[in-house]
Amino acid sequence: MRKRTIFFGVIVVAAAGIWVNNTSLLSSRPAGSPEVLAHRGLAQDYLRAGMTGETCTASRMLPPRHAYLENTIASMEAAFALGADALELDVHPTTDGKFAVFHDWTLDCRTEGKGETRNHSMAELKTLDVGYGYTADGGKSFPFRGKGIGMMPSLDEVLSHFPAHRFNINVKSNDPGEGEKLAARLATLSPAERFYLSVYGGDKPVAAVKAALPDMHTLSRASLTQCILRYAALGWSGYVPDACRKGTLLIPVNIAKWMWGWPNRFLDRMQGVDSRVYLLGPYSGGDFSQGLDDPELIKQLPNGYSGGISTDALDLIMPDIKERFAPPAESTP
């Protein structure tokens, strides 16, 4: 009987220690508001049911809510003006040594061009209409045709146009050589300029970027998986695995609540190893996890949540974020 009592006493003490080490009730983290990452800037929404990696999303556009096209300078300006703190953009190497900011592997969906994006020069890509293929009625009308000519920017243009702004740069391939080329471009920036940038995408190019530029914030499927699994196993102790360090973490909101110390202790630990955390929408299996696009999900965020969120619907959720996380009005004497 005494041994059993001692055993249960040890269990209770251990459980209490784990609770104290992970409860946000004892965190000194000040209340704040979310850092908002706008996916592809201010983009057109599209029907997602039945979508695959090969789906032409421009042909599934929903009726437009605004006049902007993703991954363009104008859409980025609009996103920052609405209150985004960081933007995600997609890049492809070009035949003349540049990086084109464009989502699709091929040109056939959004533009009048043909073939793989990377098989063209930046000069050629500048002649295309990035609004050419958008339709919300099965091809009966094309509301953006003729309005996107010359609007595909290079990465150089974006970084020059938006100094000291945060960007998550998405490498669309799994080619390590592409990572080496991107690292060479980013190496021309100062460490202070690179601080605002993060690189994510295929395991091999991201690993190449990290090897060349250890100070870069990076994210790949491999690093995220290792981070989450190892933290799930050991994070109760406050230990942060190397895979979580100096990275960018995109975590579905329904997974985040299982992270040890969620929300404030977890955010403190990630901040302590210089990693940035962004919540996605709920993960329900498969290859896709949407951004945090539902205003109802904004209402369910923890009070004073000061981590990040990633969204594909900045124009829909920003009013709710501002209302939900507005600082309390000062009382007048």
Q: Which residues are catalytic?
A: 66, 103
The answer to whether the CB of 123 falls within 8 A of the CB of 150 is: no
The answer to whether the CB of 60 falls within 8 A of the CB of 303 is: no
Angle CA 36–41–44, to nearest 5: 120
Give 160-194 as a DSSP string. Answer: HHSTT-EEEEEE-S--HHHHHHHHHHHTTS-HHHH
- In degrees and rounded to multiples of 5, residue 302 shows phi and psi of -60, 145
Alpha-carbon gap, residue 185 to 155, rounded angstroms = 10
Which is nearest to 36 in space by CA: 265, 259, 280?
Answer: 280
3-class DSSP state of 91: strand
Looking at the DSSP assignment, which residues form a beta bridge with residue 167?
Answer: 87, 197
The token duo for 305 is: 């949540």
Angle CA 91–93–98, to nearest 5: 100
